[in-house]
A and B are shown apart, each in its own frame.
Chain A
Amino acid sequence: MDTTAQRQDVDVVHAVKEACLAAAITFGVLLPLIGFETVSNIDNKLVLHTRWGLLFSIVAIVGVGRLLMALVIAPRLAQRRVRPVTPAATAAATWLSVIGRWFGPFAVGFAIVYPILVVSLGGFSSALKWVDNFGIQILIYVMLGWGLNIVVGLAGLLDLGYVAFYAVGAYSYALLAKNFGFSFWILLPLAGILSSFWGILLGFPVLRLRGDYLAIVTLAFGEIIRIVLINFVDLTNGYAGIGGIPRPSFFGIPFTAGDDGFAAVFGLEFTPVYRTIFLYYLILALAFLTAFVTVRLRRLPVGRAWEALREDEIACRSLGINTTNTKLTAFAIGAMFGGFAGSFFAARQGFISPESFTFLESATVLSIVVLGGMGSQIGVAIAAALFIGGTEIMRDLDFLKQIFGPSFDPTQYRMLLFGFGMVIIMVFRPRGLISTRSPSIFLKERKTISSDLVKEGHG
């Protein structure tokens, strides 16, 4: 009894020490950048303003938080860890597996009825925001995520320049549609083919490099393409970008207010929402196509060879598999879906510029793939909804202004939280949301494979 009490005392002292240390470190780290602000004065010279209040509040929050962590949360966590598995926990586990089984079909169904749901609940006015900003935006990233998933998740090739293929698709559509007047339906496959051609062209020299090096070279290629887009003004119009890109039509019927427009032909009242809804279903169909092809490919020899390549490249070669071709196929097919998504992006925006194809886009798509759990399609879709939906929601949290004052701009914090989220997710769930692998074929029963056994690529 005595000893436990004594230990408790020691723990409190220890916790206070820890908290003080954490507060001191926080103070040191934040002192320059939060304690001081560089501001230009009237003479346009930089002067320093101080923000002691903000600095000390953060330091206090960290200190108190560390104290609570050590005294309250950590012991509880430790207790939970020793407690045996309760019936409730087992019940929850079965529940989760039921949810897991039905989640896929449910998500597909929800995606299909989503625009109808939005319009019937909120009318046409809310459709622009919820279908366009949310639905279409998320689906573009779902599609990009699934495309990159082939390269990174299945074949285990780390690609940090995926945005290059997105850009090739977008610029192919924009330039060919504007200059030659080809329709969206001709240019969509053409953009995919051009992108996969670039994928092969870029992939050929670099695919023998190992993991990290491959990542950096693909990053370099992505940046080179962006810099060329900026500086090749005659073709791409540089920073100013390309505007007035033709919008897709409903199989020849344009979404305009005129007599031959979509609304008039079908006897409806004109509203731009029809186009938005059409675009939504278009990207949904493209995303489903990606998913369908990927599922098929996983069952084909090439898909199994990709996964085998991720597991052990040397063993693949000893089995007579041409690893260069196998990698190139993964690169080309991944690039093709990136190209599809790019041409859709150009058609939906009507305007593109190199600003849309920065390294940040590649990083976003890659984090979606990794966060989703490499190779898992449902995981990637959930991750895209979380990341993109989350950052879109950050755009209109106006109520935060009432808390932090009118100068508070939530959009500024979007990317800050995005980066922070990437770190946190990696620290707590390095294998992603769905970390099991489902075998492509089975003899008696399909057993999922724990991520501890699955490799993440060669190198």
Chain B
Amino acid sequence: MSTIATRGRSQRAQKVGLWIGLSLGALFAGFPALWMLLSSIKPNTEIFQYPPTFLPETFTMDAYAGILSSGEKLRFFANSYTVALAVVALTLFAGIMAGYALSRFQFPFKGLVNTVVISVQAVPPITLLIPYFGLVVWLKLYDTLWALILTYMVATIPYAILMMTGYFNTIPKELDEAVKVDGGSSLRALWQVLVPAARPGIVSVGAYTFMVAWNEFLFALSLTQSRSNRTVPVGIQLLMGEHSFQWSEMMAMSVLGSVPVLVLFLFFQRQFVSGMTAGAVKA
């Protein structure tokens, strides 16, 4: 009897401790994001009131209105979407085909190709930036969105290949062999059998690629120059440097700049998480 009672008590204590831990964790992880949201609907003068207000005393959507009516700021968003979507399309194209080759074909230097795909991920972006600068100027792509699309693909393709190879490996070979026996080409087997079967993997790779491209900062900062070619992460910093006291607008910009990835994440949470883990652990 007494052991059951102590066990019940210790379990209750465990539960209380757990909830305290979770609350502290949620405060640490979530409070900054909440503060961002709250600051974006406060007037700028209220942000640095001391003592600070938690909920806005004056509710205003001016910061959002200001962004949505500014062609310059909307351009940052348009650029980010263009670059991210182009990178997703091109990465999926290259990644699916390369994953197919690695999963279904034997060819000379296969081991070498595999090793290269894994090891390029270790090359620091800052090291690549210096030659990219020369290369992009030479290709006449400096200060264009193409410079970003091409350089981002270097980071996204290896991950896409690893993921797609892994997914294709889980699909029974008999399925695509059957297409070939019926006289179909290998391309048809890929398109009609493997791609539909690997859809969860493709979604996961697409979402991850979008996030990487949407969030990139270093190349966007260094390989573009004119304001009309800036992406959201760089654009926010530019505005920050110019109107460093417009905090509510900066926060509204940050909220809008985080929405695409947040939405992708909430929608495709499961694929995202399994993809990330698989990528990290298998890679």
Judge: A and B partners, yes or no. Answer: no
